[in-house]
Structure 1
Amino acid sequence: MEARDILIRPLITETSTALMEEGKYVFVVDKKANKTQIAKAVADIFNVKVEAVNTINVMGKVKRLGRNVGRRSDYKKAIVKLAQGESIQFFEA
């Protein structure tokens, strides 16, 4: 699996912005990727040293509007902790 295929997009929320102060960054990743692959992908793309990776499988919610019922898709979220003094410039801008 290619490094750019593993990281789908960054996840920017109020909680993830607060985690950036601790050196933790949140990404939506491929469902089949494991922690080792995620750490290698972040290190290769952003040229940083990864200290730890935590992953979470997020289940999609059922949404409805009147009679119409739909479902949001499931996805995998990764919280990547960088080594002391490291940061990703993409998030700082």
Structure 2
Amino acid sequence: MADIKYYDVILKPVVTEKSMELMGEKKYTFLVHTEATKSQIKEAVEKMFAGTKVKSVNTMNNEGKRRRVRGTMQFGKTAKTKKAVVQLTEESADIEIFEGL
């Protein structure tokens, strides 16, 4: 497995209606590195966002979708992705990148 630093684990936040509703329960959704483990994701969130304490991490792997190459009958695939839903503890501070949304 590749040596992944904590600042390479979280790629970007996922902003959807469902993820916005989960923020009320202190659950935040991120797109993460495909080889990142739950413990690495927990460490990255706690280091990157001051005052946060992670209670649990749920991950899901998404296979790439099949796409047709333009103008031909050949097929390819988009990249694989991995999402993580991070549950913070009750006394934990909120993540400030989601404040204005």
**TM-score for both structures, normalised by structure 2:** 0.82
- Greater share of residues in strand: 1
Q: Which 10-residue stretch deviates more, 36-45 or 56-65?
A: 56-65
Distance in 1 of aligned mates of 2:53 and 2:14: 20
Q: Does 1:87 align with 2:94?
A: yes
Specify every segment of 5 or more residues in structure 1 that has no aligned partner in the other structure, as ranges.
none
Distance in 1 of aligned mates of 2:56 and 2:26: 11
Distance in 1 of aligned mates of 2:76 and 2:82: 20
Task: Please point out which of 3, 14, 24 is paired with 1:11.
Answer: 14
Match of residue 34 from structure 1: 37
**TM-score for both structures, normalised by structure 1:** 0.88
Using the TM superposition, give the Cα deviation of residue 14 of structure 1 relative to its aligned residue in structure 2, in angstroms.
Answer: 1.3
Q: Aligned pairs, how many?
A: 93
* Percentage identity across paired residues of the two chains: 41
Using the TM superposition, give the Cα deviation of residue 71 of structure 1 relative to its aligned residue in structure 2, in angstroms.
Answer: 2.7
After superposition, the CA RMSD in angstroms is: 1.7
- Greater share of residues in helix: 1
Larger Rg belongs to? 2
Q: Which 10-residue stretch deviates more, 8-17 or 66-75?
A: 66-75
Q: Which residue identity is paired with 2:58?
A: N
Specify every segment of 5 or more residues in structure 2 that has no aligned partner in the other structure, as ranges.
none
Match of residue 78 from structure 1: 84
Distance in 1 of aligned mates of 2:41 and 2:5: 11
Q: Which 10-residue stretch deviates more, 11-20 or 60-69?
A: 60-69
